[in-house]
Amino acid sequence: MRGFFVSIEGIEGAGKSTVLKRLADALRQDGYQVVETFEPGDTEAGKRIRQILLDPQLKGLYPLTELFLYFADRAEHVKKVIEPALQSGKVVICDRFMDSTFAYQGFGRGLDLETLYRLNEIATGGLKPDLTVLLDLDVKTGLGRNRNTGKADRFEQESLEFHQRVREGFLELSKDEPSRFVVVDASEPPEKVFKEVYNRLLERING
């Protein structure tokens, strides 16, 4: 039996990591085998790619260079982690996936979306999440939540306008593919956000 692939998307501080952990625990209690993973950086090669991508000292990385590093990370991730887990029937929950590329490099940096779709198709071999949870949150609130967690990475240093475009981008993506996405109000308390996501996910897994 083929597994089920869930991606969790949203701006910095939306609560992706928090919800993912709760979701994985709950699904395990329900008897599912769950793989928790993330992008970028959850493979041997990916760890090294991630260091480049998030290095705050690496100013002015050319957008196309950044883009291909993400796709390199994703190709490795799909082949080595996601596909094998799905083939053995597991639920894979991924903290950020292809929609982050479209939102950050497309809507945020202004790269051509059609090109991103084509390249992404190559990197993933056509694999798409069965369900994408978009945690939607006001940009200031999100960035404020993460403020006390130490040094800002390359993306956290971007302007408010950049993050605003990213948020709007995610919302547009969700409107383009309403059957793949569920959009959840991430300004609610963690327990409420989790329950909403969990219920929507169970509907999909069982449906």
Ligand X SMILES: Nc1ncnc2c1ncn2[C@@H]1O[C@H](COP(=O)(O)OP(=O)(O)O)[C@@H](O)[C@H]1O
41 contacts ligand X (rule: CB under 6 A): no
Taking CB under 6 A as the binding criterion, the range among 7-15, 53-61, 122-130, 157-165 that sits at the site for ligand X is: 7-15
Window of 14-22, 57-65, 66-74, 108-116 that interacts with ligand X by CB under 6 A: 14-22
Judged by CB under 5 A, the residue of 7, 8, 17, 81 near Mg ion is: 17
Burial (Cβ within 10 Å: 0-12, 13-18, ≥19) of residue 122: exposed
How many degrees, rounded to 5, is the angle at CA 8 between CA 5 and CA 11?
Answer: 160
Select the residue interacting with ligand X from 4, 9, 13, 77 (CB under 6 A): 13
Judged by CB under 5 A, does residue 18 bind Mg ion? no
Cβ neighbours of 145 (radius 10 Å): 16
State the Cα–Cα distance between residues 65 and 102, nearest whole angstrom: 15
146 binds Mg ion (CB under 5 A): no
Structure tokens at 38: 């993330």
20 and 8 in contact (C-beta within 8 Å)? yes
| CB of 206 vs Mg ion, minimal distance in Å | 27
Q: Which does 13 bind (CB under 5 to 8 A by kind): Mg ion, ligand X, none?
A: ligand X
Amino acid at 186: A
**Identity of the residue, 87 or 141, whose beta carbon is nearer to ligand X in the bound complex:** 141
Q: How far is the CB of 20 from ligand X (least distance, A)?
A: 8
Distance of alpha carbon 12 from alpha carbon 90, whole angstroms? 27
Considering only residues 79, 80, 109, 145, which one is a binding residue for ligand X as defined by CB under 6 A? 145
Give the pairing of strands 34-38 and 4-9.
unpaired
Note whether 40 binds ligand X by CB under 6 A: no
CA distances from 158 to 27, 69, 108, 154, 204 (A): 35, 19, 10, 7, 35
Q: For residue 193, state whether it binds ligand X (rule: CB under 6 A).
A: yes
For 162, the 3-state DSSP assignment is helix
Q: Between residues 125 and 190, which has the closer beta carbon with respect to ligand X? A: 190
Using CB under 6 A as the binding rule, whether residue 190 contacts ligand X is answered as yes
Query: By Cβ distance, which residue is nearest to ligand X?
Result: 15
- Give contact residues for ligand X (rule: CB under 6 A): 10, 12-18, 145-146, 186, 188-190, 193
Site residues, Mg ion (CB under 5 A): 16-17
